[in-house]
Amino acid sequence: MAKRKGSDFAASPPTAVITSLDTVSTCSPITSGLTPLTASSLFTSPQTSPTVHQTEEEEAWEESKDLMAKLIEHFDGPDADDDAALVKESMLLVENLKIGSQRNAEEAASVKHHIQRQIKEEEDACRREGEDLAKQNCHIAALEEEIRNLKIINDEVDQQKKESEQRTERYRAEASVEVEKIDEVEAAKIKEVPRMKKQLSLYAAMTNIKWHYEKENVMAGEVAVLSQGICRRFEIDPMEHSEFDVANAVWSLMDGKSSAVVSC
C-alpha cells in the first residue's frame, strides 16, 4: 500500500523544519482554534533543566504531529477528491457562466442594435410625419385665410345684392310711375287719333295730296292737279332743303307747277 503524502514527515524526529502557524492558518480554516506553534515553544533556553526541556519538546512535538495529521487529512484525505471535483465543477461552472455571459452580451448587443435601428426608423418616420403635418398645417392655414377672404367677399356681395334689390324696387316704382304717364299719353293719343284723321282728311281734301307715310326720312306722296286733270308723284328730302323751300315746293305741286326741290 502506497504511503500518503506527509506520512514520512509525521514519523520523522523533531529536527524537521517547522512552519509558522500564521502561514498554515492562512491556507486552511482547520488551524483555527489551535495553539500557536513557535520556535520558542520547541527549544528552551540553556538555563532550562533537561527534564523541563524534554517535556516541552514532547508537547510541542505532539502538537506538531496533530497539526500535520490534520493538514494531511485535509489535503490528502478522503475529502480531497471531493474538494478537487468541487473545484473542477466550480471552474466548469465559471467557464459556462463566462460563455453564457458572453452569449448574453452578444444577444444583448444584437437586441440593442435592433432596438436602436427601430428607434432610428421610428424617429425618421416621426420626423417625416412632422414635416407632412407642418405642410398640412400650412395648407390648412392658407385654406382658412381663403375662407375668411371668401366670407368677406360674400358679405360684400350680399350687401351689394341688398342695395341692388333696393335700387330695383326704387326703379320699379319709378318705372311704374313712368308707365302710368306713358299710358296716359297713349290714352291721350288714342283720343287724338280720330281728330287727327279728320284733320288729315281735311288737309287731303284741301291740298289734293295723298301722303305715303311708309317712306322714312322723306316727304313722299301723290298730288292731284284738278285743273290739269293729272296726278303726280313726288319726293322731297327735308334734310337737304329749308322749311321755306319745302313749303314753296308743296304749293307749287298743288298749283301743278314744277320745282327744283321736288324729285318725281
pLDDT in tens, 146-192: 999 999 999 999 999 999 999 999 999 999 888 898 988 888 888 88
Q: Model pTM?
A: 0.32
Q: Are 201 and 190 in contact (CB under 8 A)?
A: no
First CA to last CA distance, the chain: 181
- Which residues, in sequence order, are CB contacts of 67 under 8 Å at separation 6+? 21, 24, 31, 34, 37
- Mapped onto helix, strand or coil, the DSSP state of residue 236 is strand
Distance between CA atoms of 254 and 209, rounded to whole angstroms?
A: 8
- Which residues, in sequence order, are CB contacts of 215 under 8 Å at separation 6+? 235
52-105 pLDDT, tens digit each = 556 877 888 888 877 877 776 666 655 556 667 787 888 888 888 888 888 889
Distance between CA atoms of 110 and 200, rounded to whole angstroms?
A: 123
